[in-house]
Amino acid sequence: MPGRCLFCLGVSQDSRPWCEACLAALPWNRTACPRCGEPQPGQAVGRVCGHCLRHPPAFDRTRVALRYEDEVAILLQRFKFHASPRAGAVLLALLEVGCRPMSGQAPQALLAVPLHPHRAHQRGFDQGRWLAERLAARQAIPLLRAQRHRDTPSQRGLDRRRRRGNLRGAFSVTGPLPARVALLDDVMTTGATLDALARACRRAGAEQIEAWAVARTPLESP
């Protein structure tokens, strides 16, 4: 409802779809590994996690606004599986709030994690492309396309190693790419999908790669 908070139905401010109290109460991903975005204990703020020290991903840093919990998980499910434009608009706004530009140069191109054409046809909706088109327009970043060549099995229940193997060679990018690119996905779990796309971007000429996502799933085990 216009003028009402999506979460509590209270009065919102400045035409935003939330009130200040609900915005503050969301599960922000503020204490996270700067390399992969995995939520970390408060005392580990700014430190690269042990897994990234042992197995650095192909991207250089991650910006993930929220943790995949509570109201955020519900919103993402509405957006991803029910193609709710209202949920998508709120998630896009939250992504911009939680991922304000870092110091340094902005990316010269944005690429969404692509669905395989067969999966996109089945679902009838490509949530990553939907977010990327709108974010690119709002941030004035050129939007480029990647190709997904294999309709990989579901990643659910797979550990990091098996996820990486599942996605090996799944993506390609027509180059040459500019030096600085950002990759966008709706939800990041282990980062294996973004890592595979980042490797394709490296092969196409990218030198500095950021991984962006609306939410990060906290891992229960390494």
Q: What is the CATH number of domain 27-216?
A: 3.40.50
219 vs 99: which has the higher pLDDT = 99
Angle at 202 between CA 174 and CA 165, to 5 degrees: 95
| Tokens encoding 188 | 């990041």
For the stretch 133-181, pLDDT in tens is 999 999 999 999 999 986 665 555 555 565 555 677 789 999 899 999 9
Half-sphere exposure for 98 (CA within 13 Å, toward CB): 28
pLDDT at position 118 is 72
Mean predicted confidence (pLDDT) in 48-74: 94
Which are the contacts of 121, defined by CB distance < 8 A and separation ≥ 6?
A: none
C-alpha distance from residue 83 to each of 123, 126, 133, 134, 138 (Å): 9, 9, 15, 15, 21
Task: Give the Cα separation of 40 and 67 in Å (integer).
Answer: 11
Overall average pLDDT of the 66-90 stretch: 93
The mean of the pLDDT values for the chain is 87
Which sequence spans correspond to the domains of the chain?
27-216
- Residue 221 predicted with pLDDT over 60: no
The predicted model scores a pTM of 0.88
Residue predicted with more confidence, 32 or 122? 32
**Three-class HEC string of 81-102:** HHCCHHHHHHHHHHHHHHCCCC
